């Protein structure tokens, strides 16, 4: 997916490539095809391509309002009472050797309200949970 988008007015003149101050635009001529290329890690988002384009073909909003990329995904630890996400399993493993005790997987609300032993007891007694609410 490219953040840099052009509309149907683009005629491949390469004005944008020649005028990009960050060298973030390039092109490849291969066989019968010309391909315009953009490197977002080099892009300064300066808008020169958009300004300079004689065809008004650069759709700069793709650079300004790009989509989110997923970077990494990992397992979550949840509050054992209400299921609220707390932290990742990897974070827990990193902290395990550094803490003097093993913290209970409880959100701030449930950690504050009762001790872990109380919650362990209440977790198996729905009526007791309702009474405590």
Nearest residue (CB) to other proteins, 5 versus 78: 5
8 Å CB contact between 129 and 110:
no
Report if residue 47 touches other proteins, rule: CB under 8 A.
yes
Report if residue 108 touches other proteins, rule: CB under 8 A.
no
Nearest residue (CB) to other proteins, 50 versus 87: 50
Site for other proteins in 59-98 (CB under 8 A): 60-61, 64
Which residue of 27, 45, 120, 121 would you call a contact of other proteins, by CB under 8 A?
Answer: 45
Distance CA 2, CA 60 (A): 12
Report if residue 35 touches other proteins, rule: CB under 8 A.
no
Nearest residue (CB) to other proteins, 62 versus 103: 62
User: At which residue do the structure tokens 């397992």 appear?
Assistant: 75
Nearest residue (CB) to other proteins, 47 versus 85: 47
Distance CA 46, CA 59 (A): 13
Say how many C-beta atoms besides its own lie within 10 A of residue 46's C-beta.
13
Which residue of 7, 9, 42, 51 would you call a contact of other proteins, by CB under 8 A?
Answer: 51
Distance CA 65, CA 25 (A): 19
At 87 the three-state DSSP class reads strand
Closest by Cα among 6, 18, 68 to 48: 18
Which residues contribute to the site for other proteins (CB under 8 A)?
Answer: 45, 47, 50-52, 60-61, 64
């Amino acid at each position: 997916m490219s953040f840099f988008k052009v509309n149907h007015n683009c005629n491949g003149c390469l004005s944008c490539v020649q005028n990009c101050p960050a060298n973030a635009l390039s092109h490849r001529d291969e066989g019968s095809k010309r391909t315009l290329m953009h490197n977002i890690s080099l892009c300064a988002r300066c808008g020169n391509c958009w300004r300079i384009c004689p065809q008004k073909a650069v759709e700069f909003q793709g650079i300004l309002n790009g989509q989110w990329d997923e970077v990494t995904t990992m397992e979550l630890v949840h509050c054992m009472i209400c299921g609220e996400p707390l932290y990742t399993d990897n974070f827990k493993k990193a902290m395990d050797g550094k803490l003097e005790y093993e913290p209970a997987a409880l959100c701030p609300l449930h950690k504050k309200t009762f001790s872990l032993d109380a919650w362990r007891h209440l977790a198996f007694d729905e009526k007791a949970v309702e009474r405590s609410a």
